[in-house]
Structure 1
Amino acid sequence: MTKKQTWSQRFESALHPAIARFNASIGFDIELIEYDITGSQAHAKMLAHTGIISHEEGEILFTGLEQIRQEYHQGQFQPGIDSEDVHFAVEKRLTEIVGDVGKKLHTARSRNDQVGTDTRLYLRDQIQQIRQQLREFQGVILDIAEKNVETLIPGYTHLQRAQPVSLAHHLLAYFQMAQRDWERLADVYSRVNISPLGCGALAGTTFPIDRHYTANLLHFDHVYANSLDGVSDRDFAIEFLCAASIIMVHLSRLSEEVILWASEEFRFVTLKDSCATGSSIMPQKKNPDVPELVRGKTGRVFGHLQAMLVIMKGLPLAYNKDLQEDKEGIFDSVNTVKACLEAMTILLQEGLEFRHQRLATAVTEDFANATDVADYLAARGVPFREAYNIVGKVVKTSIAADKLLKDLQLEEWQEIHPAFAADIYEAIAPRQVVAARNSYGGTGFFQVREAIINARTQLSGK
């Protein structure tokens, strides 16, 4: 005989087994069990605090829930598909432990506000963990930057050689991206940390609950002011997925650069064995699997953001079963971001070695100092646009002669324009080209050292 589903007497028969499987979320929302127990304990305390149940009953519920937590930790509580979701599984087990008083836990609460509370508690913790990982990532970037202030690397626009920059300056760009990620998550956290508990199914409850009491117990900053909004809002999830997507954008951009730098064409870095793999048939190869995987995993986080937007765009108030689909995307995005941050932090800290001699050579084998020639003339009274055109012609003729600017003789420079003097060679030397860009936020060595000091201050503030 088929076991009847545990709904009200409104139902005459059980769900079809296939529909039961389709409807169930226990396979993934078990991730919320710790938060479900914590939220339920706060709810039980509130029920006793307001006199809806006795203090003795409140203690029984709290203790029974804590037993379930311990059973889960010890692997003794592993609910299956017959429980449908984590919320029912916990309530069912609680009733087995404490008897009929367990059935009072759901007083003045719906699964709609319950799941919303659990999800926020979960995401709140995960945001803090990701922010800490971002700090560790930034710390590694900063450590490398401090050692490479005067290491030069070609800078690019349009993936064409543009101007040489300090390697530290280049890396600090990613520090700043991560800083924005860290700050953005703090902003998202403020809207995650709002309690829907007590909103009921959609309209509140007839019981004399104290929503601010449970919010305080659970360390929420605020409570939802509208019960319909409280049970149906997923803006916070969309915002988190957006922030997660931007983190992945930044990691993917760095990944792409590492992949290029490790190629034979660039040869700016060497991949260490601890963070690279080989080919199944080409023994000479060392593949940048870590950055390639990060670059690839970026798309799945983007996909979860898009899916969440599509889920929400057509939902009428208030709760709809569609919202069950938010969790897998959130869980996977959290896990993906955390895994990618960890992998990229390890890659930077242990898996890369910059090839300093190759970098030193690279900044001398192009026309990336052409702008400095134009600046040289402009500083001596030649209008910049005129200087720009003069240097363009010089580059053109130099390429035709298979020369670099540093190879031109002084007589050749003075034939181009009488303003050129012997100090032109110092002005276009790669080190001077970098050092001279001393405007705030620029790649000049003084500015980079100041930027590192400021970054250390940011990190020390946690």
Structure 2
Amino acid sequence: MPAASSSPSHDQLASKGEAWSALFSEPMSDLVKRYTASVFFDQRLWRADIAGSLAHAEMLAAQGIIAQEDHAAIVKGMASITAEIEAGRFDWKLDLEDVHLNIEARLTQLVGDAGKRLHTGRSRNDQVATDVRLWLRGEIDLIHGLLRALQWALVEVAERNVDTILPGFTHLQVAQPVSFAHHLLAYVEMFARDEARMQDVRRRVNVLPLGSAALAGTTYPLDRERVAKTLDMEGVCQNSLDGVSDRDFAIEFAAAASLVMLHISRLSEELVLWMNQSVGFIRIADRFTTGSSIMPQKKNPDVPELARGKSGRVVGHLMGLITLMKGQPLAYNKDNQE
């Protein structure tokens, strides 16, 4: 008689939360679990994940794929989960890997089998692609507002300085006199282009991959256009392989963000130069500067220096994303967790 196996059963594995446990005879190493889990940084997607899930559930019920009672239970459960997360009472579990499984597991705890039916016709591959797009769309809208406020702030300073004259430079050599207002409005033009680029990127971000499933779609009669309309998206991804693996929109955003930071860095460089005692064009208010512990005569432009420095981080992320994507075959790869 063969010795009894000490390995856990498939049922035991499944009870621990591994959604892929059917072919496995031992649990994941704790080291691998920590290395591959994303929940402690992708939990920021929770609002997008719940919004996408609610739109998906509404469509499943409308298509008769799940019962209306299941839909009602899902809506009620998601409301409870939202309240828990907002109150800081949600128990994020490393064992559940990511934001999607954490929310789905809690939903199933709250509403039973209806929570399991929510995942009908979708995969975590198209789910995360949808979540990132929804989250990024919101971030772009926030950045749009900030860019608009920055332009208005520059215009207000320009209006007060139409008659303020300073030297204009080429090659950093004195060239011709210009109005300080005219100089500031050059940056308004730059940030206006940045705003337009962000809106252009937003159109390509705002497309729905949900329904692509793992990579090849699903036999369930989904109404993807209905979900896109519910989520206020402009259309659906036409190819399922591309839908789950495309991150061009993220690279485009990083490129647009790099240009924003390039312009911020240029403006910061001028503020640092203008504040130097040898130039003396401007004074920066004390509340926006720092001093020296041993040289009391110094007032340092730390804020523009840091803004100039942070541009390197954003440009670095652009290079990182391009490198991340350049070697990936179709379709989804775990690299994209990065």
Query: TM-score range, shorter-chain basis?
Result: over 0.9
Instruction: String of CA shifts for 1:368-394, please: whole Å, max 9, x gaps.
Output: xxxxxxxxxxxxxxxxxxxxxxxxxxx
Which position in structure 2 is the counterpart of 1:209? 222
In 1, distance between residues paired with 2:133 and 2:209?
A: 9
- Normalising by structure 2, what TM-score? 0.94
Larger Rg: 1
- Residue 65 (str. 1) matches residue 78 (str. 2): yes
Structure 2 residues not aligned, in runs of 5+: 1-6
The amino acid that maps onto 2:41 is F
Which position in structure 2 is the counterpart of 1:101? 114
For the aligned residue pairs, the C-alpha RMSD in angstroms reads 1.2
Please report how far the alpha carbon of residue 78 of structure 1 lies from its aligned counterpart in structure 2 after TM superposition.
Answer: 3.2
- Of residues 189, 206, 216, the one that matches 1:176 is 189
- Of residues 124, 128, 146, the one that matches 2:137 is 124
Which position in structure 1 is the counterpart of 2:200? 187
The amino acid that maps onto 1:130 is I
Which position in structure 2 is the counterpart of 1:223? 236
Say which SS state the counterpart of residue 293 (structure 2) adopts: coil
In 2, distance between residues paired with 1:318 and 1:76?
A: 36
- Of residues 155, 160, 166, the one that matches 1:153 is 166
In 2, distance between residues paired with 1:187 and 1:168?
A: 29
Question: Is the Cα–Cα contact under 8 Å of residues 276 and 288 in structure 1 kept in the other structure?
Answer: yes
Instruction: String of CA shifts for 1:195-215, please: whole Å, max 9, x gaps.
Output: 001010100001111100111
Question: Is the Cα–Cα contact under 8 Å of residues 167 and 175 in structure 2 kept in the other structure?
Answer: yes
- Residue 89 (str. 1) matches residue 102 (str. 2): yes
In 1, distance between residues paired with 2:96 and 2:318?
A: 29
Which position in structure 1 is the counterpart of 2:213? 200
Question: Is the Cα–Cα contact under 8 Å of residues 255 and 291 in structure 1 kept in the other structure?
Answer: yes
Which position in structure 2 is the counterpart of 1:309? 322
Please report how far the alpha carbon of residue 280 of structure 1 lies from its aligned counterpart in structure 2 after TM superposition.
Answer: 2.1
Instruction: String of CA shifts for 1:103-160, please: whole Å, max 9, x gaps.
Output: 1111100000000000000010110110100111001100011111111011011111
Which position in structure 1 is the counterpart of 2:46? 33
Question: Is the Cα–Cα contact under 8 Å of residues 71 and 114 in structure 2 kept in the other structure?
Answer: no
Task: Count residues in correspondence.
Answer: 325
Which position in structure 1 is the counterpart of 2:57? 44
Say which SS state the counterpart of residue 315 (structure 1) adopts: coil
Please report how far the alpha carbon of residue 301 of structure 1 lies from its aligned counterpart in structure 2 after TM superposition.
Answer: 0.3
Say which SS state the counterpart of residue 259 (structure 2) adopts: helix
In 2, distance between residues paired with 1:9 and 1:317?
A: 24
Question: Is the Cα–Cα contact under 8 Å of residues 37 and 66 in structure 1 kept in the other structure?
Answer: no
The amino acid that maps onto 1:200 is A
Q: Is the deviation greater in 95-104 or in 175-184?
A: 95-104
The amino acid that maps onto 2:232 is H
Which position in structure 1 is the counterpart of 2:246? 233
Please report how far the alpha carbon of residue 65 of structure 1 lies from its aligned counterpart in structure 2 after TM superposition.
Answer: 1.1
Which position in structure 1 is the counterpart of 2:4? none
- Normalising by structure 1, what TM-score? 0.69
Structure 1 residues not aligned, in runs of 5+: 326-462
Identity %: 55
Aligned counterparts, 1:255-274, within 5 A: 255-274=268-287
- Of residues 154, 165, 179, the one that matches 2:178 is 165
